[in-house]
Amino acid sequence: MTTSNIETATSSQPEAPAAVAPADAKVAPERPYSPGLEGVIAAETAVGFVDGANGRLLYRGYPIGQLVEKGTYGRVAELLWTGEWRKSARLAPAVVPDPVLCALRELPMHTHPMDALRTAVSVWGAWRRPHWPPTVDQARELTAFAPSALAAFHRLRNGLEPVKPNQKLSLAGGFLQQLNGKDPDPADARALDAYFIVGAEHGLNASTFTCRVIISTRSDLASAICGAIGALKGPLHGGAPAEVVSQLHEIGSPENAEQWVREAIARGDKIMGFGHRVYRAYDPRAAALRKVAEGMADMAEWLDIAVKVEDVVLRVFGELKPDRVIKTNVEYYAAAVLQGVGLPPDLFPPTFALARMAGWGAHAIEQASADKLIRPDARYVGPAEMEVPSLGSR
């Protein structure tokens, strides 16, 4: 169907007549209002299942712990996109296209890495012009090039030239190789690959919902991913791991943890890395990453502090907030892994975005197959109908 045909077909669908409020009365609400759409079922999906009550996360039916233990990000991404588990599936780092590299060179050095990644995806979209509906091939290409683009920007802002990816490495390993200019330690590459796996998909979160809304308009995959990156940039969604690092540095040692936690709770401060809007049990992604962190040779001291502080936080929360279920979430041990592989804190949010590319792509493909415009209603709470003042009145 051509663009003009699409527009004609869309515009020919009659809209329901709008309700008109009486001049002296408000319209009675017909449906309950849910702030933040909490509890509202806005989609049906076969991609992932978040079981918050029981602390489970499934990708296409497979538990996240088993995927980390037995899989790679390449296999998991293919699973999310196609629904098939293929041991031979592999996702290698791709070369940054020249138009994207030129755009990255023009960015100021103070540009936030999330903005640089969003820009890279936007230029990729303008260059490749991906058609609607999104395809698995489009998702593969975008996911494979994004880490290379982020690594290129990081080197450019530090006065270094980008390096070509070693395409024999995994996507995570290739990202580290391009950041540092040398092949990574295999343990670091495996740890980051595990982080990519646990970050790949997590239900209808804010960025995934944004992605699906954009795709539902029959826009292209690059536009949807740009919107998702914009949503993930917000500190309530993608910035927590970096704040966990700052928090643990502020605490300093396990001996200081109890006083710090009690004072933070008394002030009403949010303690990063704990509590989740969905999970009412220990976040299974945190459990998987804790195992990975424990296996990292250079993480002993940092992990020891993190584990001891975690124990104190959970105990004090249980004492002071017995009516609230607050458990460790993925950001807590994500911080340990990301710091352990040598990433600077301002790369934590865009690295989260690199991981989530697989899930965003899978949801984009699924939403396009449904081909239903997402268009919720809003409850009007403004003034009742009134006359516009005449030109002579004040």
Spatial distance between the Cα atoms of 352 and 361, rounded to a whole number of angstroms: 14
DSSP string, 29-72: PSS---GGGTT------SSEEEETTTTEEEETTEEHHHHHHH--
What residues contact residue 391 under an 8 Å CB cut-off, 6+ apart? Answer: none
**Which neighbouring-strand residues pair with 328?**
274
Q: Tokens 């196609």 sit at which residue?
A: 82
- In three-state secondary structure terms, 296 is coil
Spatial distance between the Cα atoms of 337 and 189, rounded to a whole number of angstroms: 11
Spatial distance between the Cα atoms of 277 and 248, rounded to a whole number of angstroms: 22
What residues contact residue 277 under an 8 Å CB cut-off, 6+ apart? Answer: 38
Spatial distance between the Cα atoms of 58 and 157, rounded to a whole number of angstroms: 38
- Cis status, amide bond into 133, omega within 30 of 0: yes
Token pair listed for 208? 């995934």
Spatial distance between the Cα atoms of 95 and 280, rounded to a whole number of angstroms: 42
Spatial distance between the Cα atoms of 98 and 324, rounded to a whole number of angstroms: 52
Residue 298 is classified by DSSP as: G
What residues contact residue 10 under an 8 Å CB cut-off, 6+ apart? Answer: none
- Of 276, 310, 363, 366, the catalytic one is 276
Active-site residue, 294 included:
no
- In three-state secondary structure terms, 274 is strand
Put the strands of the sheet holding 56-59 in their side by side order: 48-51, 56-59, 62-63
Active-site residue, 249 included:
no
- Of 310, 331, 363, 366, the catalytic one is 331
Spatial distance between the Cα atoms of 306 and 344, rounded to a whole number of angstroms: 18
Which amino acids are annotated catalytic? 276, 331
